[in-house]
Structures are given as C-alpha cells and as structure tokens.
Amino acid sequence: MDFSEIPICIEVTEKENLQFMKDLAEALGCTAHKISTEQRQTLHLAAVFINNFTNQLYRIAHEISDAKSINFDILKPLIMETARKVQDMSPYMAQTGPAKRNDKKTIKRHLKQLENEDHKAIYELLTASIKKTHNYR
C-alpha cells in the first residue's frame, strides 16, 4: 500500500499524545485528521456504505450478468469511471441513470427483468432514494 494515499484519523484521550500521533502519521507519509469518537463512528458508518454495500452491489451485478452469460469484466471500466468521477465532483452531481432521469419506462423494464425478489427490493429502494434526492415522486 502507498501510505501517502491513506488518511490517518487520530482520536486521543490525552492531549499530550496528539502531537506524537501527528508526527507518527507524518513519518508514515500519511495525512492526519484529528477526529472525535462520534466523528470516527460516523466515518465508519459512511465507509460501510462506500465499501461493504457497494461491494454487495458489485456481487449482485456479477450474479445478474452471470445468469445471462455476460462477462462481468465488461462492467469494470464503468466501475472505475464511477469511482473516478467522485474524485472531481460531488456524488450528487455524478449521479446518472434512469432514476435520476425519472425514466419510468426503463425502471419498469428493469424490475420485470429481475427475478430475484431481494434484487428487486434493493433496486426499488435505491431508485426511490435517488428520485427523492433529485426531487422526483
């Protein structure tokens, strides 16, 4: 791993330890961020959405593509482009797709294509969330 790309979050109970922890992070070539317990817990929650839930969506996409003998690797450039976009703009601005466009015809077709009820429920939940964020009803 390239430590210069890894942020270090510092939470200390004793103020005199803060500088030592900052110096340690700097020696590793990391960017240090002083955070509170609440901030650390919130950061972990956000990380679960970014990493764990996104990975589960990749797994579902892999399952959907495999079911129709489509090589999942075809989707990898899209995965990389999506990750790259949020480096330059907010996730709100980077959002695309039928839910953002309020494309009811495509959404209906997608729901018909989904055979797995869990996948259908996830699709409906995320579609509703995107529509709500972008003010569609």
Domain, as residue range, for 15: 1-35
Domain membership flag for residue 63 = yes
Domain membership flag for residue 78 = yes
Domain membership flag for residue 43 = no
Of the pLDDT bands very low, low, confident and very high (cuts 50, 70, 90), residue 8 is very high
Domain membership flag for residue 40 = no
Q: Return left, alpha or beta for 31; rule: phi > 0 is left, psi -120 to 50 is alpha, else beta.
A: beta
| Model pTM score | 0.85
105 and 82: one domain?
no
90 and 105: one domain?
no
DSSP character at residue 5: G
The reported pLDDT for the residue numbered 2 is: 85
- Domains identified in the chain, total number: 3
Q: Where are the beta strands (DSSP E) in the chain?
A: 7-10, 31-34
102 and 128: one domain?
yes
